[in-house]
Structure 1
């Protein structure tokens, strides 16, 4: 009722003064939109009137901030393609022309997998569709007995670390996803007590580091990153 009185008063003033009444949307008892400085009701503002990033939806960074395929889903897809134990996942959006797969400037999930034979694999998963794009077995440039021994030692350390708990990389990624968009997760087997290290990115672009317990999947802030 109050809104109708205000509009009627403005219209009457315009007729008496010979001017033009400015359209206003005044919030009244019936919940109508409040006025804007440009004369449009808030409900009339379109998405393309909002500057990029103001509403947290920067199209250029959207894939990086919120990939449609989560880290957990990418890990699951990679393991279906290459069976083994997933030990890392990273949302790679950097130019990587020398990685041997000719995927420069292409945003992918890079999943690290250790198979039952002790070989390491890198599986690339599309963050939009969740499909496996490529995979390759990782080899050192100069393969000799020393390199093979190092690979075997790495595999043994990873397997020993994973025995300390039952939380997989995908389960850890799901646990930490409550803190933001997971952009990487990696097993730290060199810590006193092995943990999953994860990085998340908020809608604002702020990054945070977390630790996920292998036994309980409990998520805690990674305080050591504060010193970097």
Structure 2
């Protein structure tokens, strides 16, 4: 998922291991790409991780990320009604809550306020966006993305060893391919 970084050129590299071919965008080192691919075997889906996080910490889910730093956990960001943010860690094999940490680094800038407003007015939440994107592959990350003032859900998927990036409209749940990285 883009994190406010404009990628001028994307290249694909194929990693052949045991007859499995996996394509990864430039910028992922081999170890990170291999972990991301391995994490797609998680038994708990993004939608299930979000549901577990919200059951534990009620609020609005803003994102879910299948952590690829070797910790092998879902990290779900939840914002409560008072604006306080929390990271809820979910086991990818059982769906159990492993811990919750308050996000004290949230700066609530204009982009953050726009994203929160978009979530409040949306017909589609993060769980529904993950469910919609799951038709395109195994969802490894879902969250809000603000491109040129337009807020939409963004989802990363893996299917048949290939990564995909998708936009999910907050009002309709319509899934389209994310072509913003082509610029």
TM-score, scaled to structure 2: 0.75
Q: Which residue number in structure 2 is paired with residue 100 of structure 1?
A: none
Per the alignment, do residues 164 and 192 of structure 1 end up closer, same or farther by CA in structure 2, a change over 3 Å counting?
A: farther
Asked if residue 65 in structure 1 is aligned to residue 34 in structure 2, the reply is no
Q: The residue matched to 2:108 in structure 1 has which SS? A: helix
Query: Displacement of 1:225 after TM fit?
Result: 1.9
Q: Aligned partners of 2:125, 2:140: CA distance in 1, in Å?
A: 16
How many residues of Structure 1 are paired with residues of Structure 2 in the alignment? Answer: 155
Is the 8 Å Cα contact of residues 65 and 202 (structure 1) preserved in structure 2? no
Is the 8 Å Cα contact of residues 123 and 171 (structure 2) preserved in structure 1? yes
Q: Aligned partners of 2:84, 2:163: CA distance in 1, in Å?
A: 32
Per the alignment, do residues 151 and 87 of structure 1 end up closer, same or farther by CA in structure 2, a change over 3 Å counting?
A: same
Question: Which structure's CA Rg is the greater one?
Answer: 1
Q: Which residue number in structure 2 is paired with residue 200 of structure 1?
A: 157
Comparing both chains, which one has the higher relative contact order based on Cα–Cα distances under 8 Å and sequence gaps of 6 or more?
2
Query: Displacement of 1:194 after TM fit?
Result: 1.5
TM-score, scaled to structure 1: 0.61
Q: Aligned partners of 1:89, 1:191: CA distance in 2, in Å?
A: 22
Instruction: Note the 1:145-224 alignment, pairs <5 A.
Output: 150-151=107-108, 156-189=113-146, 191-203=148-160, 205-224=161-180
Per the alignment, do residues 209 and 80 of structure 1 end up closer, same or farther by CA in structure 2, a change over 3 Å counting?
A: same
Provide structure 1 residue ranges, at least 5 long, that are not aligned to the other structure: 1-50, 95-104, 141-146
Query: Displacement of 1:85 after TM fit?
Result: 0.3
Query: Displacement of 1:206 after TM fit?
Result: 1.3
Provide structure 2 residue ranges, at least 5 long, that are not aligned to the other structure: 1-16, 23-34
Per the alignment, do residues 155 and 62 of structure 1 end up closer, same or farther by CA in structure 2, a change over 3 Å counting?
A: closer
Q: If each structure's helix is expressed as a fraction of its own residues, which one has the higher value?
A: 1
Per the alignment, do residues 89 and 80 of structure 1 end up closer, same or farther by CA in structure 2, a change over 3 Å counting?
A: same
Is the 8 Å Cα contact of residues 209 and 225 (structure 1) preserved in structure 2? no
Query: Displacement of 1:177 after TM fit?
Result: 0.1
Q: The residue matched to 1:194 in structure 2 has which SS? A: strand
Q: Aligned partners of 1:78, 1:184: CA distance in 2, in Å?
A: 15
Q: If each structure's strand is expressed as a fraction of its own residues, which one has the higher value?
A: 2
Q: Aligned partners of 1:223, 1:108: CA distance in 2, in Å?
A: 28
- Pairwise CA RMSD: 2.5
Query: Displacement of 1:220 after TM fit?
Result: 0.2
